[in-house]
Homo-oligomer: A and B are copies of this chain.
Amino acid sequence: MKKFDPHALRREFPIFNRKIFGKPLTYLDSAASAQKPRILLESLKSFFENHYANIHRGVYLLSFEATEMYEAARNKVAQYLGTQNPKEIVFVRGATEGINLVATCFGKTFVHEGDEILISHLEHHSNIVPWQMMVEERGAHLKVIPINQNGDLDLEAYQKLLTKKTRMVAVTHVSNALGTVNPIRTLSDLAHKRGAKILVDGAQALAHAPTNVCELDCDFYVFSGHKLYGPNGIGAVYGKKELWEKLPPYQGGGDMIESVTFEKTTYAHVPQKFEAGTPNIAGAIGLGAVIDFLKTLDWESIKIHEKNMVDLILKGLAEFPQVKLIGMPTQRMGVVSFVIDAIHPHDIGTILDREGIAIRAGHHCAQPLMDFFKIPATVRASVGIYTTPEDIQTFIVGIKKVLEVFKL
Contacts and interface: CB of A to CB of B under 8 A. Distances in A.
A308 interface: no
A142 interface: yes
Nearest to A17: B49
A125 B280 CA distance: 18
A106 to B, nearest CB: 14
Chain multiplicity (copies):
2
A368 interface: yes
Interface string A43-68: 01100111111100111111100000
Interface stretch (A192-200, A224-232, A318-326): A224-232
Interface in A333-354: 346, 349-350, 352-353
Contacts of A95: 277
Interface stretch (A150-158, A309-317, A359-367, A388-396): A359-367
Interface in A246-287: 249, 251-257, 259-262, 265, 276-283
Contact of A125 (B224, B254, B361, B368): B254
A254 B203 CA distance: 13
Contacts of A362: 57, 59
> Chain A contact residues: over half helix, strand or loop, or mixed?
mixed
A408 to B, nearest CB: 19
Contact of A357 (B45, B60, B63, B132): B60
Given A53-B29, A53-B32, A253-B96, A48 B15 contact: yes
Contact of A233 (B93, B124, B261, B368): B93
A140 interface: no
A251 B92 CA distance: 13
A29 B63 CA distance: 10
Nearest to A36: B48
Contacts of A40: 48
Contacts of A94: 277-278
A300 to B, nearest CB: 28
A66 to B, nearest CB: 9
A15 B50 CA distance: 5
A233 B94 CA distance: 11
25 contacts: A14-B48, A14-B49, A20-B60, A29-B63, A41-B41, A60-B352, A60-B358, A61-B353, A93-B279, A96-B252, A96-B277, A100-B253, A126-B252, A129-B257, A129-B265, A130-B252, A130-B253, A132-B265, A232-B283, A233-B234, A233-B279, A233-B280, A233-B283, A255-B365, A260-B368
Interface of A: 14-15, 17-18, 20-21, 25, 27, 29, 32-33, 35-36, 40-41, 44-45, 48-54, 57-63, 93-97, 99-100, 103, 124-126, 128-130, 132-133, 142, 144, 224, 226, 231-234, 249, 251-257, 259-262, 265, 276-283, 346, 349-350, 352-353, 357-362, 365, 367-368, 371
